[in-house]
């Protein structure tokens, strides 16, 4: 029997799939009123992370063969590589969706917030209180207002700040609904290793690029750490490290006044030439050209 091939949806595909995005900067997308999206009811896999908040009606969806039901003010977190199927909704259904790339997620969330996200991924549906949902919608409405009034929009940095505050307040609200006790004893060894590894990556003071150094700190072999990462994320340890490092490099290149040499030093690169090669490998441009291409200083 021929195996069914699951359609994969990358973040770059989002503008082609849905043309009425409220915000789109190539790395973060906001949308609502998604019921007209072609193929929404078909099985697909997402290669990004997303947050959905139901504002009206009811949504039922299967994620990795587990069925979730969301009513008004319910929030759903979708991790990368999740297979979505059997999407159903009532006629009056509406929602707000935020989708972002993994490296942007690393840049937005600090260690404590990532801890919360890892709890949420195990229980991806959260029911917000009305005041909490109202706060989330006010952020969304402010973002839409800025997009509709470009003469009052003073640059991408201000929009990113709104989104960052949106994320922080959202996770703060959700923390009140979660048991944040230390449940490491109930986790399997591979779960504990993966969680600790991701928390190490979320530490913005950590600029180590060596899989072996992380493996040594976790008291496992590099091979085992890589196998754990593949099991939990479909990425190698090296790929996850590079994602975290590049996220911080992008933040420094676009939103700091540091020179290229200072950014390289801040990120632990002793050799400016090697730093340039590293950035070109992962971003396709030299550090200076990446700054210019993304409107640095405007």
102-111, 147-156, 168-177, 284-293 — which is least confidently predicted? 102-111
pLDDT score recorded for residue 1? 39
CATH number of 184-293: 1.10.10.60
Percent of the chain with pLDDT strictly greater than 90? 26
User: What are the residue ranges of CATH 2.60.120.280 in the chain?
Assistant: 7-175
pLDDT score recorded for residue 254? 83
**Does the pLDDT value for residue 61 go beyond 60?**
yes
Distance separating alpha carbons of residues 141 and 130, to the nearest angstrom: 16
Predicted TM-score (pTM) of this structure: 0.67
Q: Roughly what angle, to the nearest 10 degrees, separates helices 189-201 and 222-233? A: 90
Average pLDDT, the chain: 82
**Does the pLDDT value for residue 207 go beyond 90?**
no
108-117, 156-165, 216-225 — which is least confidently predicted? 108-117
The predicted-structure confidence for 73-92, as pLDDT tens digits, reads as follows 999 988 877 888 888 899 99
- 20: three-class secondary structure by DSSP: coil
Q: Does domain 7-175 have CATH number 2.60.120.280?
A: yes
Distance separating alpha carbons of residues 41 and 292, to the nearest angstrom: 41
Task: Label residue 180 by pLDDT band (50, 70, 90).
Answer: very low
**Does the pLDDT value for residue 72 go beyond 80?**
yes
User: What are the residue ranges of CATH 1.10.10.60 in the chain?
Assistant: 184-293
Q: For the CA atoms of 273, 276, 277, 279, what is the dihedral angle to 10 degrees?
A: 160
Distance separating alpha carbons of residues 259 and 15, to the nearest angstrom: 34
**Tally of CB atoms within 10 A around 256:** 12
**Does the pLDDT value for residue 42 go beyond 90?**
no
CA 244 vs. chain centroid, Å, equals 11
**Does the pLDDT value for residue 6 go beyond 90?**
no
Question: Which contacts qualify for 66-75: CB closer than 8 Å, 24 or more apart?
Answer: 68/124, 68/125, 69/125, 70/125, 71/127, 73/127, 73/128, 73/129, 73/130, 73/132, 73/133, 74/125, 74/126, 74/127, 74/128, 75/51, 75/125, 75/126, 75/127, 75/128, 75/170, 75/174
Task: Label residue 125 by pLDDT band (50, 70, 90).
Answer: confident
pLDDT score recorded for residue 107? 62
Q: Roughly what angle, to the nearest 10 degrees, separates helices 222-233 and 237-255? A: 80
Nearest residue to 164 (alpha-carbon basis) of 212, 107, 114: 107
- 131: three-class secondary structure by DSSP: helix
The predicted-structure confidence for 245-265, as pLDDT tens digits, reads as follows 888 898 888 878 889 999 999
């Amino acid at each position: 029997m021929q195996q069914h091939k699951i359609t994969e949806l990358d973040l770059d595909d989002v503008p082609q799939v849905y043309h009425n995005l409220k915000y789109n900067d190539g790395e973060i997308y906001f949308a609502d009123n998604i019921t007209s999206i072609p193929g929404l009811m078909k099985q697909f896999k997402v290669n990004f992370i997303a947050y959905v908040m139901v504002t009206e009606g009811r949504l039922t969806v299967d994620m990795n063969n587990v069925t979730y039901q969301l009513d008004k003010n319910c929030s759903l977190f979708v991790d990368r590589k999740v297979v979505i199927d059997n999407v159903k909704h009532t006629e009056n259904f509406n929602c707000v969706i935020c989708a972002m790339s993994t490296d942007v997620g690393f840049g937005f969330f600090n260690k404590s917030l990532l801890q919360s996200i890892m709890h949420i991924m195990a229980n991806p549906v959260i029911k917000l209180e009305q005041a909490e949902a109202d706060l989330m919608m006010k952020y969304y409405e402010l973002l839409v207002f800025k997009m509709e009034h470009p003469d009052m929009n003073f640059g991408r940095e201000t929009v990113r700040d709104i989104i960052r505050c949106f994320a922080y307040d959202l996770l703060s609200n959700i923390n009140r609904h979660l048991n944040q006790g230390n449940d490491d004893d109930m986790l399997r060894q591979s779960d504990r290793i993966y969680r600790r590894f991701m928390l190490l990556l979320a530490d913005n003071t950590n600029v180590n690029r060596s899989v072996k150094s992380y493996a040594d700190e976790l008291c496992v072999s590099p091979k085992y750490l890589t196998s754990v990462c593949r099991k939990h994320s479909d990425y190698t340890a090296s790929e996850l490290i590079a994602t975290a490092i590049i996220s911080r490099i992008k933040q420094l290149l676009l939103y700091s006044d540091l020179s290229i040499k200072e950014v390289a030093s801040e990120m632990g690169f002793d050799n400016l030439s090697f730093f340039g090669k590293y950035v070109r490998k992962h971003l396709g441009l030299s550090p200076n050209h990446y700054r210019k291409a993304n409107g640095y200083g405007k």
